[in-house]
């Protein structure tokens, strides 16, 4: 089971600093992230996204995942993706595979102009050490879980019907 964690911050810069800490925690094997993304919203309301992906996974797939997730959450195309029928179908798939409406609404409410959020797709975590390291950044933590079946369905949708079994 993978966990999708969103941590909201009251300014535009803190999520990027927290993402650097998360990458350090990954190097120290305290967390095992599949992907890390930061979304900030400037005071004019424009979204800015930065991502990093597990080196072995499908970097392009995770880029598409974040683009679709952020497009669904914030109603904006991310990474230059045009909103078409295929993307609409993939966004529907994201909604069906376990990213529940309450989580989506909470994230939407959390990322207001002048704020930022760190998103982590985690496979494994050592909670006490991760919490200790990340607590210095504060923030509001939201979490939702994806079952193995949901992860597989999502990967199949992102790969056009073929699972990314490596």
Backbone phi, then psi, for 160, in 5-degree steps?
70, 35
Helix %, strand %, coil % of the chain (to 5): 45, 25, 30
Q: Which residue has the tokens 């879980």?
A: 145
Mean pLDDT (the chain) is: 76
In the chain, the N- to C-terminal Cα span, in Å, equals 17
Distance CA 124, CA 6 (A): 16
- Which pLDDT value is given to residue 136? 95
Give the pLDDT score at 11: 97
Which pLDDT belongs to residue 120?
87
For residue 109, what are its two tokens? 């409410």
Q: What is the pLDDT of residue 79?
A: 47
Residue 68 contacts by C-beta under 8 Å, 6 or more apart in sequence?
81, 87, 90, 91, 94, 158
Please give the full DSSP string across 29-81, using - where no structure is assigned: TSEEEEEEEEEEE-TTS-EEEEEEE-SSS-HHHHHHHHHHHHHHHHSS--TT-
**CB 32 within 8 Å of CB 152:** no
The CA-atom distances, in angstroms, between 24 and each of 54, 87, 96 are 13, 33, 33
50 forms beta bridges with 38
pLDDT score of 66: 67
Low-confidence ranges of the chain (pLDDT < 70): 1, 52-68, 71-72, 74-98, 150-166
Instruction: Sketch the domain layout of the chain as residue ranges.
Output: 2-158
pTM: 0.75
């Amino acid at each position: 089971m993978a966990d999708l964690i969103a941590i909201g911050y009251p300014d535009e810069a803190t999520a990027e600093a927290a993402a650097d800490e998360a990458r350090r925690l990954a190097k120290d094997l305290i967390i095992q992230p599949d992907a890390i993304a930061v979304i900030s919203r400037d005071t004019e309301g424009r979204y800015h996204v930065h991502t990093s992906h597990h080196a072995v996974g499908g970097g392009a797939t995770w880029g598409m995942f974040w683009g679709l997730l952020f497009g669904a959450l914030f109603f904006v195309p991310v990474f230059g993706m045009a909103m078409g029928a295929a993307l609409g179908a993939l966004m529907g798939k994201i909604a069906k595979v376990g990213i529940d409406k309450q989580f989506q609404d909470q994230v939407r409410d959390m990322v207001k102009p002048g704020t930022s959020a760190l998103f982590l797709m985690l496979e494994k975590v050592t909670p006490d050490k991760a919490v200790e390291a990340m607590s210095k950044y504060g923030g509001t933590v939201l979490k939702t879980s994806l079952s193995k079946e949901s992860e597989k369905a999502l990967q199949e949708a992102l790969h056009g019907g073929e699972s990314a079994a490596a």
